[in-house]
Amino acid sequence: MPETLFSPVFLTLLQADGAPQPPSMIGTLLPFILIIVVMYFLMIRPQQKRQKQHQAMLSALKSGDEVVTTGGVFGTIAGIDDKDGTLWLKISGDVKVRLDRGAVARVISQ
């Protein structure tokens, strides 16, 4: 008796040889995992490092430091109030401005 297309032997051979296997879960998720790792090392980690450096700079501020605020105002620190987290910035002559400590963008000289 000849083998037909729907015989159990033929179907078993067809499934074993020609049927493509589904991709593994690791192979499917690997590109996404690599993208996340690359984003972490190129974007998130450097930003955290800059944030830590800025925080260290803010905690090291003292009277007499020349600074630039985030608004672009240049001045010299006249006093620091640690209780409120503010500082007095002398910008000209007797003109002093009270600022939040976080408004300091960078220190020009110490």
DSSP designation for 51: H
> Which of 56-83 are b and which e, b meaning 16 or more Cβ less than 10 Å from the residue's Cβ?
eeeeebeeebebebeeeeebbbeebeee
Nearest to 65 by CA among 88, 97, 81, 84: 88
CA–CA distance, 32 with 110 (Å, rounded to integer): 46
Which long-range contacts (C-beta less than 8 Å, at least 24 apart) are formed by 82-89?
A: 87/61
What's residue 52's pLDDT? 96
What's residue 25's pLDDT? 81
What's residue 71's pLDDT? 93
33-47 pLDDT tens trace: 999 999 999 999 999
Place 13 in a pLDDT band, splitting at 50, 70 and 90.
low
Predicted model pTM: 0.66
